[in-house]
Each structure stands twice: as C-alpha cells, then as structure tokens.
Amino acid sequence: MSTKHNSFTRVLCTILSIAMMISVIPLTVAHAEDDPTGTVRFGTYNSKAVLWDIVKSTDDGILLIAKNAFIKSAATKFNTATTAFPDYGTSALATYITGTLLTATFTEAQQAKLVAFTTTYTVNNSGTAETKTYEGKMAIPSAADIPDSFLTKTTMIGATAATNYWTADGSCTNASDKKVACISTAGTKMTQAQNATTVAIRPVICIAAADLLALDVEGASFTDADGNAINYVVRGEGFKLTLDDAYNQSTVTVKAGETALTADDNSVYTVPADAASLAIEGVEANPADFTAYDEALAAAKAIDASVYDEATFAPVKELLDNELDKEALTGADQAQIDQYVADLNAAVANLPADFRAYDEALAKITEIKTKGDAGDTYDLTPSFIFDADYTQELTEGLPKTLKLHIATALNKYKETTIHTYKIGQQADVDKATAAYNLLISKVGYLSANITNWKDAKEFIEGLDAGKYTDVEEAQAACAAIVAEHDYEADPVDVTHQAEVDAAAARLKEIAEPFRNGEKYIGTDFSALDAAIAAAAEINLDDYITTEEYEADGIDEKTGKPVNEFFYGEDGAIADQIKEEFAAALEAAQNVDREANAIKYQSQDTIDDITEKLEQNMARLAPLKRLTKSEKTRMKIKAFFQKIANFFKMVSEISKTLWGLLGMLFRGEIDLYSVFEMIGVDQKFLDFLIKIGIKPMEPEEPEEPEEPAPGGLALA
C-alpha cells in the first residue's frame, strides 16, 4: 500500500540497556477533522482480549494503537550497543513485532482485516539525519502517527525536557519501569540504563475503514465478550449490548443488512464478516416517571403566591412558568425531570412560612400587652391556667394572670425565631398563632370612656335660657342623641368607644356655640345709646351756674333764694350737677362694649350706667336758663298761682273759722283752746286766763246704772 507523505514523523524507540535517538517525522493524515474516536476489541494476546484506541483516519484506513502495553520480552531489545543507531526496520524490535507479535495476536482471518501502512522515521546517527521508511501491518508508532491527546509528556527519560513522550497513559510514572516505549520528537541522543533489557510495547495497526462499524445507539452501551467497554466493532467480531436504565423496557433487534442477528448464550452478537451494514433497532426510552414531578407541581401550585412578595416567590414562579413538556419527555430525560423536581422542591422549601395569621395575632397580642399594661382598653387582671404550649385551657393548677401568660407566650414564641421558619415549618408557626389567639380570646375589655359624652350632655342639659339663645332647640337635640343610647344607663365596653366618641362629638358640636360664647344673649345697649344720644344734645352753657343762681339773692318775703322758684333747691349746686352729668356722660360713652357684651354678666352694670346718666340729665333739666319772656310768663303764672293760693287759703280759713265758731257756740271747744291750737305765745295764753278765758273742764264720765236684781247688764 502506498502512503502519501505530507510531513515526517520522528520516533524514538525505548530500548533496554541501549542509548539511541530516533527523530520521527509524522505520517500524512487525511481528513484529520473527521477522525473517529473510540475503542474496539480486536485480537487476543496471552488469552486476553486486546483493546485498541482509534486514533485517526488515514488514506490507508483507520489507525489503531493498543490501549495498553501488553508485550514485555528480552527479544524486543532495539540494540544493546550504546553507540549504535540501527534502522528501526532492521532492528530486533521490528522483527519481533512483525514475526512474533502479529501472529500471536491475530488469527489469519483477523490478519486479513489489517491493512499494510507506511511510517517514516528520521534516523540521526552522530548528528547526521537520514530519512527511513517502514511498511507493515504492525509496528511501534512514530510520534506523528498518534495525536497529542494519546501522548503524555514527561522529562523522566532523556535529557530534553518536554519533548519526550510515553506512548501510554500517565500510570507509568517511573522510567525505570520500562512499561512502555518512549519516543522523542527531536534528534537528541537519549541514554537509557544499560541493565534494561526488556520493553513493553503499545503497537499500532491499521484496519480498513470498511471493516470498522460504529456502535452508537442512544440508550444503549456496548462491551466485548469480556465486558470491556467498546463503541466500535470489526466485521466478523462480536459485541454485547446493554440497555441503559431509562431504556430497559425496549425490545431490541440487531440487524446485519436485512438479517436479524441472535445473541449467543453469553449475550454476544457476532457481526458477519461480509455484513454490508449494522443496524440496532427498537431501542426506545422508557416512559418517564412523572409521579414525583406531578406531586411537586401540585404542591407548588397549591401555594398562595399572594403570601409572598415578587422577589421571594420568583424562584418558584420561574419553575412554574416553565413546566416540563410531559409529551416530549421520556425515561431518557428522567434526570432532567428529577432535577426539575429537586429544583422545585428546593425552591418551595426555601419559601418562608405563611406568617399572615401569626403576624395578625402577634400584632393583636402586642397591642393588648401594650394597652393593657398602660391600663387602656384591655383588662389583664383575670387569671387562667394554660398548658405548656398555650393551646388549651386546663382546669387545675396554679392560675396566673393573663398579663403573665401573655408575657410568657411572647417570650416562648419570639417573633425573631418564628420569622426564620420556612414553609415546611408552617405547623410551628400555626402553633404559635394558636397560642396567641387562645390568649387573645381570654382578654376582657375595660369600660368605654364616656367622660366627654357625659360632660357635653350635662353642659347642654344645664344651659340657662337667661344666658343663652336657642337653649330649647339645643336641649331637644341633646335629648334625641341620648335617646339613641344612654351610656350612663346602659354602659358599654371599650370596643364601642368609637360609637361613644361619635355621640360625644355630636353633643360637643351642639355645645360648642354655647361654650365659645356664640349663643350668649347680648347685652342691650339701646337704652344706654338713647341716653347718650339725648345727653349729647345737651349744651351745658344753656344751664345756670351756682354763681348765677346765688346772684338773684334771697326773697325777703319767703326768705328763700329767688331762683328757687324757677330751679328748685338743686340750683344751689348747679356746678356740681353739671360736673356729675359730664362724668356720667363720659362713663357712658367709654363703656367697653366688647368686655360687656354678655347680658347676664353686664346688663345690670349697663343699666346702672344708663340710669345714672338719665338721673343726671333729670337733675340738670330744671337748671336750664329761662328767656325773658319765659321768666315773665313764669312770674305771671306764679303770681296767679299765689292769688289762687291766697283765695284757696282764704276759703280754707273761712271754713275753718265757721267750723270753729260752731264748735264755740255748741260748747265743743273753748276760746282758750283755739288760741292754743294756733300756737300763740304762752304769755298771751296766760293773759287770756287772767281775763277769764280758761280752758274747759273735762266732763266726768257717767256712772253706769246698776242692773236690776236678776237682770243682765246692758253693754
């Protein structure tokens, strides 16, 4: 078989007890990007199956490298001379591989599957490089024959760092083990221990591409007859098929072309050497198990999302918004399903518990404690007995006050602890809630505060109609409100405080105009205003002065001031009266009407000021100066009045004299008594006695007649 050389491969063959260096130029690789990868069983050595790594595809076929070093023999020495660098093709190692190892590993039928391939080496003897080629069905690999992924760099052999390769995996970590061949990519001489006389070999072979069939079916894995994992098979060879757990309900048919193959008693399917193709049918995924999925989904959907804010519920919502397509998933997707279930359960488990009822109970019992301790709203003095969990009332034991129970429960079910609980601990949250609600149910209420209601009611009922207007209407409205509910006659507790306060507010609204003075009866200033107006019209210059009064002198006949006839006795104090009038007017004009606006407080004062002004005007009135004509008329009137008085007096005297004469004539009075009555001087009376005019002797009373014997005295 010819080989296209696009590059050269260098290979250094590890030799026991020999120091040599071989420079390797890599083989030409066709379609390297399409190189298959995998493992195939082919051949047997020392009764053990040989597994091969598929390393690349060449123009000759598929290049395989033994998966493990499987030959170790002294006959594999490359050369024992440390200074000789023979050609690989003429080396004992190459002869051994071709003449012994090849036939010991493969049957004739299997050898027929092998393709001769060519590899190129560059031999460097004493610094002179020379290209050599080797053609055969089995050989030690050159570095270029094998991709880097199959080589492990080491610095443990040779002097050149990072340029030497083990042709096995990294399990060979000590150069002295000589478990594998060592290849160098450079032409530098390498020295090995002289006592190393054997080498373990990972040879390479090439098999026609048409003879290598892929074992690649989703849901199944493949092994050889001994249980070694493979994913390729050579025509004429066999394999075992094992269904994955997610596909183990499948009924499988293996076909070579159109012919169905039957596995032997060891479950091995043997591929005919002339099989045109290989098909494995019927591998189908089992139905997926959605039991846990359905349960998790139902549980998540049953959660009330309104309990949580958007960010808290987001992990659960995201999963619920992206439910799995049950129609599209099979047992092959069970891991995906199980992961979804795990994620959903974890997201749900991470949700906080529902604290709404707890928070409501906590707020209520906190309010009770706060207001109860403050003596407002709640009565915490009753005593009760509860069990340790505060979930039911007991009937025996030492009772404690509700106040103590509440304090203990708040400490037992602390908010900072309860609020750390997740949804799975809802029962613990509910337990705390039940404890709080039990205590809440035992709390009594204080009586409603009716102070404001009562105060407004009594104020309205006590309104004085003499002080306020609209009292009757206000008291009627008050009575109507009290009739709706008399909180004195029918007390209520503090839970009705709002309605009590509302009634109090209505009463307060009625009382307010009276309290703030809007409804006070105003002081009546009309009389004062009239008096002031009248007084303002008075000009004091129109009235006489005391000096003018006294200027007219004394009437000689009467002995009294002449002006008294016109002005009366007050004329003598005319100036004083004027001053008192002016003071009374000033006092009236300067009244603080705002301060005296309320009748019941100020009316008497205003009336006194008004009366005083009116009295001063009345006293002043007679002192007004008279005109000449008025004086003349007054004099004429006085004259005629005197005449009238004179005649009246004469008439009276005449009547008196005639009566007196009659009495004298009848002896009812004596002349002496007459003069005595008119008040004559005692000397004159004494004179009358001398001339014989004496008072009459009093008459002796008559003695009553004695009653006749046996008769009654007359009254």
Residue 362: helix, strand or coil by DSSP? helix
Q: What's the pLDDT band for 194 if we cut at 50, 70, 90?
A: very low
Q: What's the pLDDT band for 173 if we cut at 50, 70, 90?
A: very low
pLDDT one-digit tens code per residue, 582-591: 999 999 999 9
- Residue 648: predicted pLDDT: 78
Cα gap 284→103, rounded to integer Å:
42
- Mean pLDDT of the 662-680 span: 75
Q: What's the pLDDT band for 699 if we cut at 50, 70, 90?
A: low
Q: What's the pLDDT band for 563 if we cut at 50, 70, 90?
A: confident
The model carries a pTM of 0.47
The phi and psi torsions of 599 (rounded to 5 degrees) equal -60, -50
- Residue 212 forms beta bridges with which residues? 234
- Residue 638: predicted pLDDT: 63
**Choice among 5-19, 43-57, 312-326, 604-618 with the minimum mean pLDDT:** 5-19
Torsion (CA) 321, 322, 326, 330 in degrees, nearest 10? -160
- Residue 532: predicted pLDDT: 96
Residue 139: helix, strand or coil by DSSP? strand
Please give the C-alpha separations between residue 271 and each of 109, 210, 213, 242, 259, in angstroms, as whole numbers. 14, 13, 9, 16, 11
pLDDT one-digit tens code per residue, 479-530: 999 999 999 999 999 889 999 999 999 999 999 999 998 999 999 999 999 9
- Residue 179: predicted pLDDT: 34
Cβ neighbour number for residue 473 with a 10 Å cutoff = 10
Q: Residue 326, CB half-sphere, CA atoms under 13 Å: how many? A: 8
- Residue 652: predicted pLDDT: 78
Cα gap 199→594, rounded to integer Å:
133
Q: What's the pLDDT band for 356 if we cut at 50, 70, 90?
A: very high
In this structure, what token pair is assigned to residue 8?
A: 């050269």
How long a stretch of residues is the chain?
Answer: 715
Cα gap 26→6, rounded to integer Å:
8
How does DSSP classify residue 73? Answer: E
pLDDT one-digit tens code per residue, 201-243: 678 899 999 899 999 999 999 999 999 999 999 999 999 999 9
